[in-house]
Amino acid sequence: MKLRMLACLFALAAAVALAAQERVLVAAAANISAVKEPLGAAFAKQYPMYEAEFSFGASGALVTQIKSGAPFQVFMSADRGFAQALVDAGQTTGPAKIYAVGKLIFFTTRSLDLGKGLAVLKDASVLQWANCNPETAPYGRAAKEALTKAGLYDEVKAKLVTAQSVSQALQFALTSADAGFVNKSAIYSKDIQQYDKEGVFWFEVDPTLYAPIEQAFVVIKSTQASKGGTAFAAFLLSNEAQAVFAAYGYGKP
Amino acid sequence: MLRFYLKKRLVAGKKSFDLELEYALADGEFLGVRGPSGSGKSTLIRCLAGLETPDEGFIKIGEEDWYDSRRRIFAPARKRRVGVVFQDYALFPNMTVLGNILYAKADKARARELLELTRLTEQADQFPRELSGGQKQRTALARALAREPELLLLDEPLSSLDEELRDSLGDELVRIQRATDITAIMVSHSKAETRRLCTEVLELRSGHLNDDKLRVY
Amino acid sequence: MNIDPLPFWVSLRLGTWVTLVLVLVCFPLAWLFSQAKGRWTVWVESIASLPLVLSPTVLGFYLLLALSPRAPIGRFFESAFHVRLAFSFAGIVIGGCISSLPFMLTALKTGMRGVPGNLIEASYSLGKGRLETAFRVVVPNMKTGLIAGIVTTFAHSIGEFGVILMIGGSVPGLTKVVSIAVYERAESLDFSGANAYALILVVASYIGIFFLNSLQRYESRR
């Protein structure tokens, strides 16, 4: 009798062990945190044997980590350049591929006259505005470029507060800064649903003012034979993943 | 004239007893209170100095009330014109002998007087760590006298000195007390010492004076 | 490779201000603790030691919320003094002070406890009040403790990173300290630049600590 119970338990354990998913470690640019859940769910649906685990940071910061041997399998950059840096370093299994195009938005929680567009930054009521570091975050680079092209950067740079990633830029804009430049997908997250009023709290920055934020990914070469990275890579270009990106305000690659 | 009645509960480990005594001391007298360790001698000094509060009683010096539990009067140490010589002298290490005296009263002439009186003129610019036991004691005395206090309290002033010094310094003490005509109370565990140096001696045992009947306050 | 000297200046100012403010703030606090005898002291002392066990980033996070113009503290400062504490030099000084408070407080407390009680009583018996006793008797006799407090506080606040990362905003000349500069350079893969900042900071810190420790030795020998 006891033996049969033991055998059943064993079989159960084995089944559970087999059913446990293999983790796929993905290093993703901070803006992807906005789509983390729907993307993860869609991936799990397509590849039930895998589970995506995301680590977020500024694209440049992540490259540093990966170059130093951080065990990520896929790197989702917020631009082409940083992804290419890893290709050039010979750390990838293939070339960089674009998975989405990022959209830059101007965001504020205060009552500013957004009809003025970017020039609203010149207002005296804007004491501080946040942007992420242009050297390590592509959205930051884009914002700086847009302001420079609009001839506003020099005038307003004294009021600039620099964040280390686009998430931190959003943090600043939600707390102490009067405004900030963030990724459009941030608007869709639950916590700031109350600010999802275009023209009142945010507006899209004119795309002609900055070079497109072509977000590329690469699969990292690894000593362990794991198919998880390849699977995730295939998933990112699939219709399901693309649908998620579209729903969250990204442009088509 | 110093008049006092003090009652205070003292706890020594598991035992506790009441310190209770009453006395009247005429001006210029040198009172010795002798008792074994743990009899409450230091507490007596500290209460008279204003560093500790009795549970009950009064302390009156001349016409001044330093403490009266019934009328809720309590003058803390710094408000009393009292001079204290602590058991380990408590000299300020960051000041010279002269500095210690000047701290009490910033009167250079008076300081020089005191240095002469206690025969410390040569040591004026030395720091406490450079002094011998006897010199430290005399510095403590000079400092305590600087403000011309109404009462001089000495907590076992000779106990930490070796034998030869004890006699000579004991004599010094008496000499200085007579020269300044100050009312002084010294506590000690030595019978011989108190008998030799003081004009009046009381025995303190377990918080009570052994001879006097207590006059109820 | 161009090394901007500004972050060094900011770090130096930060270290100096934090140390100065903490000496003034912690002195009466340490005095209070060394004199007080209630059970409440354990409560307050534990709160004062919190920054030691809290992650600097946690501290920075709460400060970010507290100093925001939406929160009472931030709002008060903005309306009363027209100063926005977040992303300002004053803000990181506040952050640095909270973060380094335990260092200064402990050093001063220990130093004060090391002053024999009878010295204080002797001072009282000579007619001196609490303030005079504190300045003329207690302080001169706790010099080594004071120096220890200054050294640890200064060193800790110069190297402060987590808190400043959260509430600094990396504003050049105001909140961009050397530790942030090192971080940013490293993130941009400019390792030689990061190394230059880091090395200079290490050398400068060493010189400073060496000098203060020598002073410490001199004082304790006297």
Nearest by CB: B78 against C116, C128, C140: C128
Query: Scanning the structure block, which residue is given the tokens 């709002």?
Result: C75
Is the domain B30-54+75-203 a CATH 3.30.2350.10 member?
Answer: no
Q: What is the pLDDT of residue B38?
A: 77
Contact C125 B49 (CB under 8 A): yes
Chain C residues with CB under 8 Å of A60 CB are 187-189
Q: What is the pLDDT of residue C70?
A: 80
A109: pLDDT strictly greater than 60: yes
ipTM of the complex: 0.89
Nearest by CB: C122 against B50, B79, B86: B86
What token pair was written down for A78? 């917020």
Q: How do the domains of chain B map onto residue ranges? A: 30-54+75-203
Contact A176 C165 (CB under 8 A): no
Residue of chain C with shortest Cα separation from B84: C125
A74, β-bridge pairs: A26, A219
Which band of pLDDT confidence, cut at 50, 70 and 90, is reported for residue A225? low
Q: What is the pLDDT of residue A41?
A: 94
**What 8-state DSSP symbol labels residue B215?**
P
| Each residue's pLDDT tens digit, B78-130 | 999 999 999 889 999 999 999 999 999 999 999 999 999 899 999 999 999 99
Q: What is the pLDDT of residue A18?
A: 57
Residue of chain A with shortest Cα separation from C191: A64
Q: Is residue B155 a contact partner of residue B107, using CB atoms and an 8 Å limit?
A: no
Nearest by CB: B84 against C125, C136, C137: C125
Residue of chain B with shortest Cα separation from C221: B129
A8: pLDDT strictly greater than 80: no
Residue of chain C with shortest Cα separation from A132: C169
Q: What is the pLDDT of residue A79?
A: 92
Q: What is the pLDDT of residue A16?
A: 62
Q: What is the pLDDT of residue A14?
A: 66
Contact A161 C68 (CB under 8 A): no
B214: pLDDT strictly greater than 50: no
pTM here is 0.77
Name subunits touching A (3+ CB pairs < 8 A): C
Q: What is the pLDDT of residue B213?
A: 38
Q: Is residue B21 a contact partner of residue B5, using CB atoms and an 8 Å limit?
A: yes
Nearest by CB: B84 against C119, C122, C136: C122
C93: pLDDT strictly greater than 90: yes
What is the 3 state secondary structure string of chain A? CHHHHHHHHHHHHHHHHHHCCEEEEEEEEHHHHHHHHHHHHHHHHHCCCEEEEEEEECHHHHHHHHHCCCCCCEEECCCCHHHHHHHHCCCECCCCEEEEEECEEEECCCCCCHHHHHHHHHCCCCCCEEEECCCCCHHHHHHHHHHHHCCCHHHHHHHEEEECCHHHHHHHHHCCCCEEEEEHHHHHCHHHHHHCCECCCEEECCHHHCCCEEEEEEEECCCCCCCHHHHHHHHHCCHHHHHHHHHCCCECC
Angle between helices A59-67 and A81-88 (to 10 degrees): 10
Chain C residues with CB under 8 Å of A177 CB are 86-87, 169
CB distance from B103 to chain C under 8 Å? yes
Q: What is the pLDDT of residue B215?
A: 32
Calculate mean pLDDT across residues C6-14: 93
Calculate mean pLDDT across residues B27-34: 91
Q: How many residues does chain C have?
A: 222
| Each residue's pLDDT tens digit, C143-182 | 888 988 998 899 899 888 989 988 888 888 899 999 999 9
Q: Taking CB atoms and an 8 Å cut-off, how many pairs form between chains B and C?
A: 53
Q: What is the pLDDT of residue B166?
A: 85
CB distance from C118 to chain B under 8 Å? yes
Q: Taking CB atoms and an 8 Å cut-off, how many pairs form between chains A and C?
A: 63
Q: What is the pLDDT of residue B133?
A: 87
* Residue, of C144 and A32, whose pLDDT is higher: A32
H or E element in which residue B153 lies: strand B151-155
* Terminal Cα distance for chain A, rounded: 62
Alpha-carbon distance of A31 to A133, in angstroms, equals: 14
Within 10 angstroms of residue C213's Cβ, the number of other Cβ atoms is 13
Contact B51 C136 (CB under 8 A): no
* Residue, of B29 and C70, whose pLDDT is higher: B29
B217: pLDDT strictly greater than 70: no
Catalogue all structural domains in chain C, each as residue range(s) with its CATH number: 6-221 (1.10.3720.10)
Q: What is the pLDDT of residue C1?
A: 60
Contact C187 A175 (CB under 8 A): no
Residue of chain B with shortest Cα separation from C116: B90
What is the 3 state secondary structure string of chain C? CCCCCHHHHHHHHHHHHHHHHHHHHHHHHHHHHHHCCCCHHHHHHHHHHHHHHCCHHHHHHHHHHHCCCCCHHHHHHHHHHCCCCCCCHHHHHHHHHHHHHHHHHHHHHHHHHCCCHHHHHHHHHCCCCHHHHHHHHHHHHHHHHHHHHHHHHHHHHHCCCHHHHHHCCCCCCCCCCHHHHHHHHHHCCCHHHHHHHHHHHHHHHHHHHHHHHHHHHHHHHC
What token pair was written down for A191? 């916590």
Lowest-confidence segment of A36-45, A184-193, C120-129 by average pLDDT = A184-193
Interface test with B, best of C120, C126, C130 (most B CBs within 10 A): C126
* Residue, of B79 and C42, whose pLDDT is higher: B79
Which band of pLDDT confidence, cut at 50, 70 and 90, is reported for residue C132? very high
Calculate mean pLDDT across residues A11-38: 82
* Residue, of C35 and C154, whose pLDDT is higher: C154
Exposure string of B6-29, with b = 16+ CB inside 10 Å and e = fewer, is bbbeeeeeeeeeebbbbbebeeeb
Nearest by CB: C184 against A67, A130, A133: A133
Phi-psi region of B24 (alpha: psi -120 to 50; beta: other; left: phi over 0): beta
| Each residue's pLDDT tens digit, B51-88 | 999 999 999 998 899 999 999 999 999 999 999 999 88
Chain C residues with CB under 8 Å of B144 CB are 125
* Residue, of C218 and A218, whose pLDDT is higher: A218
CA distance C126 to chain B (A): 6
Calculate mean pLDDT across residues A195-206: 92
Calculate mean pLDDT across residues C49-67: 87
B2: pLDDT strictly greater than 50: yes
- With touching defined as 3 or more inter-chain CB pairs under 8 Å, the answer for chains A and B is no
CA distance C45 to chain A (A): 30
C82: pLDDT strictly greater than 90: no
Residue of chain B with shortest Cα separation from C126: B104
| Each residue's pLDDT tens digit, A46-83 | 999 999 999 998 898 899 889 888 889 999 999 999 99
Calculate mean pLDDT across residues A190-215: 91
Task: Determine whether C217 is exposed, middle or buried from the number of CB atoms within 10 Å of its CB (0-12, 13-18, 19+).
Answer: exposed
Lowest-confidence segment of A146-150, A224-228, C212-216 by average pLDDT = A224-228
Nearest by CB: C119 against B49, B90, B146: B90
CA distance A64 to chain C (A): 6
Task: Describe the strand order of the beta sheet including A129-132 as a list of residue ranges.
Answer: A160-163, A129-132, A179-183, A104-107, A202-204
Nearest by CB: C169 against A64, A135, A161: A161
Residue of chain A with shortest Cα separation from C61: A171
Interface test with C, best of B81, B86, B110, B151 (most C CBs within 10 A): B86
In this structure, the strands spanning B2-12 and B183-188 are: unpaired
Catalogue all structural domains in chain A, each as residue range(s) with its CATH number: 2-102+213-247 (3.40.190.10), 104-209 (3.40.190.10)
Contact C187 A135 (CB under 8 A): yes
Q: What percent of chain A has pLDDT over 90?
A: 69
